[in-house]
Every structure is written in C-alpha cells, then in structure tokens.
A and B are shown apart, each in its own frame.
Chain A
Amino acid sequence: MRALVGLLCGLVFGVGLAVSGMTDTAKVLGFLDVTGNWIPDLAFVMGGAVCVTLVAFRFVLKMKKPLLSASFSLPASSVLDGRLLSGAAIFGIGWGVYGYCPGPALSALVYQDSKTAMFLVAMLVGMALANQVVGKKRR
C-alpha cells in the first residue's frame, strides 16, 4: 500500500512536471534569463505548487501522524550555515548551466535524449562526491 502511494504520488508529480514545461530545458533557461528574452511562465509552477503546500501542509502537520506511517519524517535542522548556502548556490549554478533540476531530469528520460542520461549519471556522481565531502551525515 505504501509503495503504491509512492508510485501514484510520483506519477502525479511527473505529470505535473511535464504539463508545466519544467521538462523543457529551453523554457527553464528562458525563465532564468531575466535580463534577456525572459519567459516568465514557469513562475506559475512553483507559485501554484507552493500555494497548495502552504495551505494544505498547515492541516496535515496538525495531525498526530500520517495516515500510513508511524510518524512524520521532517528535516530537523534549522541552522542557516555555509553548507546550506554553498550547496544551494552550487545547485543553482548547475541548474543554470543545463536547465534541469533533479525531478525534471528524471521525467525527461521519457524523451530518450542521451544527454539527459549523461546529466543524470553526472548528477549521481555529484551526489556521491558531496556525500564524501560532508561525511556520512544525513538529514
């Protein structure tokens, strides 16, 4: 049952990414190109998604526990440190270099472009490297 929930949530999430245009690198880079030929469309993706989570998370997180798990698994840290800032900064640079963040890159596997596979392999290598750098700490 819990696995089925994973599948269905991933499915809806993936449809959302494809519908929204996030799997189109040209659109993503156009969205980030605010001083050039700016394509503002994708602001509505995070805008729409955050509207839903902002409202619904209030109610969900008031529950004692999630419906199908023993407890909520939420990041505990509230520290604004150099690791968070440098990680986010490096991620943003990579996003601007090719136009994919992790979700859309996975969804774009459907389009069977070998460069997407290269991006994903490199992404996994990058994750493993960062894991070496920060040790075995996990959130």
Chain B
Amino acid sequence: MTFEYTTPLIGGLLIGAASVALLLLLGRIAGIAGIVWGAISAQPDNAWRWLFIVGLVLGPLLYHLLAAVPYPPASALPWWQAVAGGLLVGFGVKLGNGCTSGHGVCGIGRLSMRSLVATITFMITGIATVYVIRHLLGGL
C-alpha cells in the first residue's frame, strides 16, 4: 500500500486557510455547492461568487504550470457514469444544503451538528457505493 500524506496535508491546510479567509473577510461559508448555486441563481452581491469559481479553476492551472506537476490521469470510467455521478451529486448537495467543503470542512469547523451528521452520511454512502460498484458489480 503506497501512502503519501504530505501533499494531501498541504492541500488540506490550503483549503482550510482559504475557508478561514472567506469567513474572516466576507463572513461567508466556503461551500462550493452553495457558491455555485448562488452564482447561477443570480443572487445579489454575486461578483465574489463568480470570481471564487474563476479562482477555483485558475488555481490548479497555475499550480500545474508553475510547479511543473503533471495532470492526474484522466478517468477511465465511461461518460454515462460521469453524467450519473454529476446528477446525483447536484441533486444531493442542493437537497442536503452542502457538500464536502460546506458540510465537511466549514460545517464541522463551526461545530454544526447538521454538518457532522451530513458528513458521516455522505462518507458512508460514498464508501458503500464504491463497494457495490467495484466488489459486487465488478466495476461496471
């Protein structure tokens, strides 16, 4: 089992720092699902949301370019699995009011019981889904 914790930890600290900065400066929760929904549903005071999304794409572009780190390998999964996954993710985060960042990083950070329960729930169903697809259905 290969085991690499330095880059995940550095990445996690950066994500945490960005979340703290957004709360400290704008008073907002760095939940990507909420930011995306706010942006597309044309809520007032939206410029920061759209620019946050721009930054979300620009950041990795600069990182891979400047640090000369190769892109991760493209997914080998079929396109319909991307569509199915996207539909479920979108439906679920809107219904449950948050995703990995909003509930996981920020919600737990502010000791929200709702977020803790949501995070445990999506971890369990995520693990169960991979188990079913890989070990019961043979990888689809």
Interface on chain A toward B: helix, strand, loop, or mixed SS?
Answer: helix
**Out of A10, A19, A38, A107, which one reaches B51, CB within 8 Å?**
A10
Chain A interface residues toward B at CB < 8 A: 2-27, 29, 32-54, 56-57, 60-61, 63, 65-69, 71-75, 77-80, 83-103, 105-111, 113-116, 118-131, 133-134, 139
**Out of A21, A96, A105, A139, which one reaches B11, CB within 8 Å?**
A21
Contact status A2-B26, CB under 8 Å: yes
A-B contact count (CB 8 A): 494
Chain B interface residues toward A at CB < 8 A: 1-5, 7-30, 32-34, 36-37, 40-41, 45, 47-64, 69, 71-77, 79, 81-101, 103-114, 117-119, 121-131, 133-135
Which A residues are in CB contact (< 8 Å) with B62?
11, 15
| 21 pairs, A vs B, C-beta closer than 8 Å | A7-B48, A11-B59, A16-B12, A20-B12, A25-B77, A44-B5, A44-B12, A46-B104, A49-B16, A51-B13, A52-B13, A52-B16, A54-B108, A57-B106, A80-B113, A90-B91, A94-B92, A107-B57, A122-B82, A123-B87, A139-B97
